[in-house]
Structure 1
Amino acid sequence: MNGWLMRVGAGLRHPVDGGSRAAGPVRSGPWARLIALPHAGGWPSAFRTWRPVLPAGVELLVAQLPGRGLRAAEPPLRRVAPLVDGLSRAVAELPPLPYAVVGHSFGSVLGYELTRAMERAGRPPRLLTVSARQPPCFPSEPPFAHRRTDAELLEHLVEIGGIGPELLHRGDLVRPALAAIRADLEAMETYRRPPTGVGVPILSLGAVDDPVVVADRLHLWSLETTGAFTRRMFPGGHFYLYEPETAVTIANHLLDICFPHVAERQEMSHSSATLSR
């Protein structure tokens, strides 16, 4: 079974099995696919706010990396290359569909390298969306977050909104997740810009009050593609992308770019109306 991607939506949350569909409610097949990559240490549930605002015909697959979720018993990986190797093989096994990639924070690094890998395989996405992460031309510099003590790392997570302050002194509850967070941070902070970029369009997103990202750097994602480039800013902090109202706006914009002529886009209006009630 392919455990790298988790299908989220319509009451279904299960690993994707090499193109076959696991048992569940009978429904018509998807006409498009969104592959989502969460922040450092993030689980597939990070994108739970996205499913209600996507048309039913858009399959939402979220990365499930080693060391978390159903893969909690596996040791987390500490470099980008093996993570992208697993993810790209998982995507290559899927039935062909038009698709887009969206990555948040560390997920932006994985999304960028996944897009490069899928271009080399001849199955590129229609769009790469990168959120809350500076472009590869600005590598991480010390002091590195992955080298902090557990207490220091917890304080950092509280500062950026990753966990609530009430958990700051509950290491017994959050410590099991720190290994995956630390591994992802190490992968992100040791990553270096590749010699070539991508050819697909890039949509760069950020939040005006993000304490982690320098907003003025986000437009330089334009250097990483020979395709079209757009940048958009939103209110909020580092985890703005998961806010329901923001998810509606971004999903609408993403679908406008990728699938502008699909009749089922009408379902988005219905989903948005339902969410606002």
Structure 2
Amino acid sequence: MIVRTEDGRGRPSSALLRSLPANRDCPVRDGDGRTVYCVPSAGTGARTFLASHAFSPLRNHLRVVQLPGREDRAAESCLEDVHVMAGLIADAVVADACEDYALFGHSFGALVMLEVARILVRAGAPAPAVVALAACAPPHLSAFARFDEMTPTQIVEALADLGGLDLHGERGERLLPLVLPALAADSRASARYARTAERAAISSPVLAMCGSHDVAVTTHQAAGWGDYTDAGLVVTEYPGGHFFPLESDLPLRAVVEWQR
């Protein structure tokens, strides 16, 4: 792989990745600690994911992807191609040069991280210790919701059903214009990817994670990820709904402590 120094928009590839400031009370991520690269759920950004782990002793392990069109990159146009997103992230991972790392994708982010793993394999880069795919069914199965085909009112109700951001009332009127463009773009990217996705297996084990009350993904559906790896599949259910990775550090701990 030729590592690009820019993300195609004149920004260093490192601008894709966000971390929390080092915390002296948490173990320092060093050569013995696993770096976990994460892509958050559709329409959301790194700040939201990092904030949910701000007080976790595992916080120093996190490197979260900040895609264009959200939070501090809101002025940039959203990407609408999973392969383009994955290529940029793969380059940033290679540039980081971490010896021990894992990939973690939440919901839509799981599709992106699957493709990142494939790109890294094709490039001959060191494989991730594990690829964790949370709250997401494999691409050959039907998606729970097509946000790109919904009206704003329908999106508000669908997010409420998933236990996500409350966009009702005046608060919703303020937040929806900020969230909707990225959410719709990610949904279009997801739908396009699902129509053309390969089942080529990756060389890393897959840890498929589900929420016990997630209406979008069941453990039976998550078991379908076994078709996408040659290195074994583990399906684990955690307490919570679709956004369980933001409610506890147990999923992150499973990734950090994963043993080959």
TM-score bracket relative to the smaller structure: 0.7 to 0.9
Q: Which residue, 200, 208, 216 being the options, matches 1:196?
A: 200
- The one-letter amino acid paired with 2:251 is I
TM-score by length of 1: 0.78
Q: Secondary structure at the match of 1:257?
A: coil
Confirm or deny: 8 A CA contact 1:36 1:63 kept in the other structure.
yes
Q: Which residue, 119, 124, 135 being the options, matches 2:138?
A: 135
| Deviation for aligned residue 1:74 | 0.9
| Deviation for aligned residue 1:166 | 4.2
- The one-letter amino acid paired with 1:135 is P
Aligned residue-pair number = 240
Structure-2 change in CA distance of 1:55 and 1:39 (3 Å): closer
Quick check: 1:4 aligned with 2:6?
Answer: no
| Deviation for aligned residue 1:195 | 4.3
Distance across 1 between alignment mates of 2:29 and 2:188: 41
Confirm or deny: 8 A CA contact 1:130 1:203 kept in the other structure.
yes
Q: Secondary structure at the match of 2:38?
A: strand
Distance across 1 between alignment mates of 2:170 and 2:113: 30
Q: Which deviations, in whole Å up to 9, do the C-alpha atoms of 1:17-42 show, x marking residues without a partner?
A: xxxxxxxxxx7845331101100011
Q: Secondary structure at the match of 2:16?
A: strand
Distance across 2 between alignment mates of 1:99 and 1:78: 26
Q: Secondary structure at the match of 2:20?
A: strand
Q: Which deviations, in whole Å up to 9, do the C-alpha atoms of 1:152-182 show, x marking residues without a partner?
A: 2122112212212544773233212210011
Q: Secondary structure at the match of 2:128?
A: coil
| Deviation for aligned residue 1:52 | 3.6
Q: CA RMSD in A?
A: 2.4
Distance across 2 between alignment mates of 1:130 and 1:206: 9
Q: Which residue, 167, 170, 181 being the options, matches 1:179?
A: 181
Q: Which deviations, in whole Å up to 9, do the C-alpha atoms of 1:191-217 show, x marking residues without a partner?
A: 132141201011010012112223311
Deviates most, 67-76 or 209-218: 209-218
Confirm or deny: 8 A CA contact 2:219 2:235 kept in the other structure.
no
Confirm or deny: 8 A CA contact 2:147 2:183 kept in the other structure.
no
Confirm or deny: 8 A CA contact 1:37 1:110 kept in the other structure.
yes
Aligned counterpart, 1:209? 213
| Deviation for aligned residue 1:137 | 2.6
Distance across 2 between alignment mates of 1:6 and 1:79: 21
Distance across 2 between alignment mates of 1:128 and 1:62: 15
Distance across 1 between alignment mates of 2:242 and 2:29: 36
- The one-letter amino acid paired with 2:137 is Q
Aligned counterpart, 2:126? 123
- The one-letter amino acid paired with 1:153 is I
Deviates most, 210-219 or 174-183: 210-219
Q: Which deviations, in whole Å up to 9, do the C-alpha atoms of 1:88-121 show, x marking residues without a partner?
A: 1111211332101111100110111111111122
Q: Which has the larger radius of gyration?
A: 1
Structure-2 change in CA distance of 1:123 and 1:51 (3 Å): farther
Aligned counterpart, 1:43? 45
Q: Secondary structure at the match of 1:81?
A: helix
Aligned counterpart, 1:17? none
Aligned counterpart, 2:9? none
Structure 2: gaps spanning 5 or more residues: 1-11
- The one-letter amino acid paired with 1:99 is Y
Q: Secondary structure at the match of 1:93?
A: helix
Q: Secondary structure at the match of 2:184?
A: helix
Structure 1 segment 60-71 matched on structure 2, within 5 A: 60-71=62-73
Distance across 1 between alignment mates of 2:176 and 2:67: 18
TM-score by length of 2: 0.83
Aligned counterpart, 1:162? 164
User: Normalized per residue, which structure has more strand?
Assistant: 1
Distance across 2 between alignment mates of 1:125 and 1:195: 18
- The one-letter amino acid paired with 1:256 is E
| Deviation for aligned residue 1:82 | 1.1
Distance across 1 between alignment mates of 2:115 and 2:48: 21
Confirm or deny: 8 A CA contact 1:102 1:128 kept in the other structure.
yes
Q: Which deviations, in whole Å up to 9, do the C-alpha atoms of 1:121-170 show, x marking residues without a partner?
A: 222211000010001231548x7321111222122112212212544773
